Amino acid sequence: MIILVCNSVIYSGQTILRVDLSNDKIEDEELPDFVVEKFVGGKGLATYLMYKEVKPGIDPFSPENKLYVFGGPLAFIYPTFTRTIMVSKSPLTGLYCDSNAGGSFSIELRRAGYVGIVIEGKSDKMKCLKITKEEKKLIECESLKGKTTYEVGDAFREYSVLTIGPAGENLVRFANIVIDMKKNPVTRPGVAGRGGLGAVMGSKNLKAIFLKGWLKPDELAKNVDKNLQKDLINRYLKILQEDVVPGIGVGGNLPVFRVSAEARILPVKNFQAGSHERWEDLADDAWGRITVNRITCPTCPLRCGVTVVENGSSTERIEYETVAMNGSNLMIISRKALAQINTTLNALGMDTITTGNIAAFLMELTERGLLKDYKISWGDLEGYLKLIHDIAYRKDLGNILAEGLARASKTLGAEEYAVHIKKLEIPAYDPRGVVGMALAYATADRGGDHLRAWTVAAELTSKLTLEDLVNLTKYLQDRNAALWSLVACDNIPGNSVRPPDEMIRIYIKMLNTLGFSYDEESFLKLGERIYNLSRLFNIREGVSRKDDSLPPRFHKPREDTGWIITKEDFEKMLDTYYSKRGWDSNGVPLKETLDKLGLLDII
């Protein structure tokens, strides 16, 4: 463990709770100003700590791996900073991974006086972590073994609950971590879906954290100028009302389905095609008609969490990626079926993107006659629901699939049909058509991910040269790394009908009311610093240019349109990107780049 010595604090509660499950040790640890200045909170602090503390080459399921559960400094002082970010070495990819979720957890965490929790070691018995004003302790909870995320949420209804389902306990390598999942939730539940961080929790025998904070906003905002705070809140709420409310439409990111379908970049039959004639059955209007409730995270006026009911099947917070990866991609064009699938996956605690991607892979193998003892056809809902359970409980073929697409496709001898990058299954945008997503996927620090740089909107609104596209990708990756240090919510800039520049300027001003001194340039540099540090973590694990590559499918013409990303075009993008980033031709940050970012004295 590194010993951190501290004399002063930038913001109230720049403290972490370090929890060692091997010996039931729980300690407060104050983070020093020089670290907080450089990494702020959320993704920044967690990435820094993981780089320093998690040794290269360790097994993600070993006690040496750590799980960082972080909020950010603005939560509860300003509205909407509700996301909780989880960072660890991923059991799915073996690399850096962060995944964030909405809900009430990070607000309660800040109200308990912490910016993050570091979970390390491994318990022999199933444990839960309880945090209240009166006590912080690990309690045995064998009785929760095998319980779904809903059951755990319901067992601690008066707390904010962060938990795993059976899939996490069974070390399914794409198990998720959920927040506030329960029957009839009053606040929007959140899901940290990607990279299997739920299985890291499972490997430590930690079922849940339940938490109730006690501090009041003024206790967290001791040094904040009250007039300035009020003014910034008002300006921010006005922007949300004018720019984001119209963009958020029926809630979440469901309007994206229409965009993808019209541009023919929808995943259909394991990315073999890009559109489906009945796509409108799964578009935002169709979901809008069956929306019965919209709930929100504490402090957020946007209410993006939709509850839908179709023919007796209801589900909470259904989102575009879930609908596309499990709907058009599997040829299941039924809202009722998708509500069932979403609830089942959330209850068992499995990533909806990865599971949909794996099922499409199996359906394609079935169609091609490449599976010996198992069959599942396109559109087979019953077969799919059974498969989901088999994966969660590692039964039969489910045991192979629970290892994730990359490992399973190798075992099944069918790697050419597997659509993943760095072992993270690709989400719901076919990059043939919006080529920026190819670069975004290939250079994302957690593997094939769309959230670090979602270039789709820019590609479908303006004319971009190769240089523009590379600059945009880098900008979005850096900007988002900085925003995830606050931790700001992706759904807000992502749904703004205007470029979110003014919103981000306000975020920076909010940060400065706490005692930071960032401007737009240094804020972006903060993101760049974090992005280079997560890259260095991956390089330490053996990543290089060869891994920043596309699955074979995207280098072949698509069946319906002939669209393709040639190897030559892709390598050209990558060269331009490396050079823009100040990385060498193998994708390693140059010494002067690290120096410029203030990383040389850290690594």
Partner 1 sequence: MVIVVRFYGVLKELVREKLELNIRSSEVLFLDLVKEIIREYPALGNFIKVGEEGVEVRGVSVLVNGRHIMFLGGDKALIRDGDVIDVLPPLHGG
**Which residue ranges make up the site for partner 1 (CB under 8 A)?**
259, 262-264, 432-435, 456-457, 459-466, 469, 557-558, 561-566, 568-569, 572
The count of residues interacting with ligand SF4 (CB under 6 A) is: 13
Work out what residue 492 binds among partner 1, ligand SF4, none; the CB cut-off runs from 5 to 8 Å by kind.
ligand SF4
- Residue 327 is encoded by which pair of tokens? 């709907």
Site string for ligand SF4, 538-577 (x = CB under 6 A): ----------------------------------------
Cα 87 to Cα 48: distance, rounded to the nearest angstrom: 10
**Contact between residue 236 and residue 79 where contact means Cβ atoms under 8 Å apart:** yes
**Cβ-based nearer residue to ligand SF4, 443 or 480:** 480
**Cβ-based nearer residue to partner 1, 263 or 588:** 263
Helix axes 466-483, 567-581, angle to 10 degrees: 50
Work out what residue 564 binds among partner 1, ligand SF4, none; the CB cut-off runs from 5 to 8 Å by kind.
partner 1
Which residues, 6+ apart, have CB-to-CB distance to 87 below 8 Å?
Answer: 43, 46, 47, 50, 67, 68, 70, 96, 97, 98
Site string for ligand SF4, 58-87 (x = CB under 6 A): ----------------------x-x-----
**Contact between residue 265 and residue 558 where contact means Cβ atoms under 8 Å apart:** no
Residues within window 209-228 making contact with ligand SF4, judged by CB under 6 A: none
Q: How many CB atoms lie within 10 A of CB 301?
A: 12
Three-class SS state of 315: strand
Site string for ligand SF4, 169-198 (x = CB under 6 A): -------------------x----------
Q: Which stretch binds ligand SF4 (CB under 6 A): 175-183, 292-300, 453-461, 563-571?
A: 292-300
Sign for the CA dihedral angle at 29, 33, 34, 37 comes to positive
The partner residues of 211 in beta bridges, in order of sequence, read 131, 160
Shortest Cβ distance from residue 255 to partner 1 (Å)? 10
**Cβ-based nearer residue to partner 1, 351 or 459:** 459
Strand pairing class (160-163; 206-211): antiparallel
CA-based nearest residue to 531, from 456, 452, 595, 451: 452
Residue among 87, 119, 161, 304 that touches ligand SF4 (CB under 6 A): 304
Residues within window 484-523 making contact with ligand SF4, judged by CB under 6 A: 489, 491-492
Shortest Cβ distance from residue 295 to ligand SF4 (Å)? 8
Cα 273 to Cα 288: distance, rounded to the nearest angstrom: 26
Q: How far is CA 492 from the centre of its chain?
A: 15
Residue among 71, 102, 398, 589 that touches ligand SF4 (CB under 6 A): 102
* φ, ψ for residue 182, nearest 5 deg: -165, 170
Shortest Cβ distance from residue 324 to partner 1 (Å)? 17
Work out what residue 296 binds among ligand SF4, partner 1, none; the CB cut-off runs from 5 to 8 Å by kind.
ligand SF4
* Residue that has been written with the tokens 């599942």 in this structure: 376
Shortest Cβ distance from residue 176 to ligand SF4 (Å)? 16
Work out what residue 491 binds among ligand SF4, partner 1, none; the CB cut-off runs from 5 to 8 Å by kind.
ligand SF4
Shortest Cβ distance from residue 492 to ligand SF4 (Å)? 5
**Cβ-based nearer residue to partner 1, 542 or 557:** 557
Three-class SS state of 450: coil
Transcribe 181-236 into DSSP letters.
--SS-SS--EEE-GGGHHHHHHHTTEEEEEE-----HHHH-TTS-HHHHHHHHHHH
**Contact between residue 526 and residue 511 where contact means Cβ atoms under 8 Å apart:** no
Work out what residue 561 binds among ligand SF4, partner 1, none; the CB cut-off runs from 5 to 8 Å by kind.
partner 1
**Cβ-based nearer residue to ligand SF4, 319 or 425:** 319
Q: Does the footprint of ligand SF4 cover residue 297 (CB under 6 A)?
A: yes
Shortest Cβ distance from residue 82 to ligand SF4 (Å)? 4
497 preceded by a cis bond (ω within 30 of 0): no
Residues at the contact surface with ligand SF4, assessed by CB under 6 A: 80, 82, 102, 188, 296-297, 300, 302, 304-305, 489, 491-492
